[in-house]
Amino acid sequence: MANAMSISDATATADSIAITAVVEKISATSTSTRVDTAAAVNTTDTPDPLAADDAGAGTKRRFSQINEAEERPAKRWRSESQASVEKTPPNRIHRRIIVQDFGRPIYKASSPTALVAAVENCIQGHESLRKAGFLHRDISVHNVVIDERQGTPKGFLIDLDLAIRESREEASGAKGKTGTRAFMAIGLLFGEPHCFMHDIESFFWVLFWVCVNHDGPDRSVKKNPFDHWNYTRDYDLAGSKLAVITDSFVFRKRAGECFTPFYEPLIPMMDRLREVVFPGGVRWKQVDKGLYTVMRDILRGELRRLQPVSDA
């Protein structure tokens, strides 16, 4: 029994010694770790010899580098940082502009009186435009409009896309032909530089064209002898127009054959306009500043003649 107790005591003593050794080893390890850590903190400026290891091996970083990596913010895309944070989106406002057509094309005039009144207004407007230093250069049935909403017909010139600044009385010297073919002055078809006299002549051709192509505000003629004016060559078109304005007899005969019944009453007025626009039955050769007034006087006289008929 005594031997047994001795063996047991010896075993317990050995176990105690082993445990004590383990504890001492752990304590030594902890102390070593603390010493290594302190050494790392105190030697942050000393290069790490392991930093130059081969590419395949791991690379140690200094403690200061670790702190910098932890404190450095993560990179973000520009769209996330500057576009959404630094720049405030604009305050957008949606707007709409509603416009309405003004007037109607001159060929939709409700009566011969309305047609004459509108053209007289447009000639006056063209003169005002020229006095302001501008030349229209595209007088046509599409750019001469009429407004009859207030009862009294009024005409307006629109579309200044081809207009130029012009302060001289003579030809502008503008290169190239401008305007709509059927209404172009004879001189322009022959290559003359554009001047205000060519625009005045175009008003005559606008009236002529309406009278042969329209038999009322909403009735157009399907065919007429002048349809080829839209596509014929310049010299041929000039010759065709010269044949129309040669003299009073030829003009009235031609107009009597081609004017629609709706506009037949305007044949005498058109002949008087022909005489002043084409003196002697030929294209004009000299600039005439007074032609504005002469043409407007003829148109106003026609309005006085037609007015009693309109009132009836």
The pLDDT value recorded for residue 280 is: 92
User: 269 and 130, same structural domain?
Assistant: yes
Establish if 96 belongs to a structural domain. no
Establish if 242 belongs to a structural domain. yes
The pLDDT value recorded for residue 277 is: 97
User: 189 near 177, Cβ under 8 Å?
Assistant: yes
User: 163 and 298, same structural domain?
Assistant: yes
Establish if 7 belongs to a structural domain. yes
Q: Is 23 exposed, middle or buried (0-12, 13-18, 19+ CB in 10 A)?
A: exposed
The pLDDT value recorded for residue 295 is: 98
The pLDDT value recorded for residue 260 is: 96
CA–CA dist 204, 155 (Å, integer): 15
Establish if 139 belongs to a structural domain. yes
Establish if 56 belongs to a structural domain. no
Q: Is 199 exposed, middle or buried (0-12, 13-18, 19+ CB in 10 A)?
A: buried
Domain count, the chain: 2
pLDDT by residue for the chain (312 residues), tens only, comes to 444 444 444 444 445 544 455 445 545 444 444 444 444 444 444 444 444 444 444 455 554 554 554 555 555 555 555 555 567 778 889 899 998 888 899 999 999 999 999 999 999 999 999 999 999 999 999 999 999 988 889 999 999 999 999 865 444 445 555 668 899 999 999 999 999 999 999 999 999 999 999 999 989 888 888 988 988 899 999 999 999 999 999 999 999 999 999 999 999 999 999 999 999 999 888 899 999 999 999 999 999 999 865 444
The total of other beta-carbon atoms located within 10 Å of residue 62's CB is: 16
The pLDDT value recorded for residue 85 is: 54
User: 162 and 275, same structural domain?
Assistant: yes
The pLDDT value recorded for residue 254 is: 94
User: 108 and 74, same structural domain?
Assistant: no
User: 166 and 254, same structural domain?
Assistant: yes
CA–CA dist 130, 289 (Å, integer): 11
Q: Collapsing DSSP states into helix, strand and coil, what is residue 135?
A: strand
CB contact burial 259-281 (16+ within 10 A = b; e otherwise): bbebbebbeebbbbbbbbbbeee
The pLDDT value recorded for residue 299 is: 98
User: 185 near 165, Cβ under 8 Å?
Assistant: no
Task: Give the predicted TM-score (pTM) of the model.
Answer: 0.67
